[in-house]
């Protein structure tokens, strides 16, 4: 394995910064229920095809190796959680056009905040699953 600290083995790609986000992926049974709704909305109104996900931390600026290391560390700090849909919301924001908004409690806020701080990112302000 190459020594990352040896400049002769570090490519310029290893030093390039990218924007990263961490998503919570719903279980398969939930994705199978939500995906047809997403596809029908996209067919009627347009928009990109996206996988069902809930943004936990976003807009993190890291190299690829730093993002992987911080993500793995953050994942070790929280357990899976269960939440319920609180409401359907439409918004003027591009990335939150039509979304399922989830109930949040102290435990959820604490865990997502801890995760995001370990990623050196802001936590999701509003846990949501974008449908369109």
The pLDDT, as a whole number, for residue 129 is 87
Identify the residue with better confidence: 54 or 33: 33
Length of the chain: 132
- How far, in Å, CA of 81 to CA of 84, rounded? 10
Going from the N-terminus, what domains does the chain have, and what CATH number goes with each? 19-130 (3.90.1140.10)
Does residue 8 carry a pLDDT above 60?
Answer: no
Q: What percent of the chain shows pLDDT beyond 90? A: 22
- The answer to whether the CB of 99 falls within 8 A of the CB of 130 is yes
């Amino acid at each position: 394995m190459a020594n990352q600290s040896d400049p002769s083995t570090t490519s310029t790609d290893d030093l390039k910064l990218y924007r990263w986000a961490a998503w919570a992926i719903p279980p398969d049974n939930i994705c199978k229920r939500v995906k047809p709704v997403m596809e029908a909305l996209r067919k009627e109104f347009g928009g990109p095809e996206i996988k069902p996900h809930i943004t936990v931390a976003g807009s993190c600026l890291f190299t690829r190796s730093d993002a992987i290391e911080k993500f793995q560390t953050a994942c070790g700090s929280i357990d899976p959680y269960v939440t319920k849909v609180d409401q359907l919301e439409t918004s003027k924001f591009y990335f939150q056009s039509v979304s399922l908004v989830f109930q949040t409690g102290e435990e959820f806020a604490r865990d997502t905040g801890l995760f995001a701080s370990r990623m050196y990112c802001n936590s999701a302000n509003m846990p949501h699953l974008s449908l369109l």
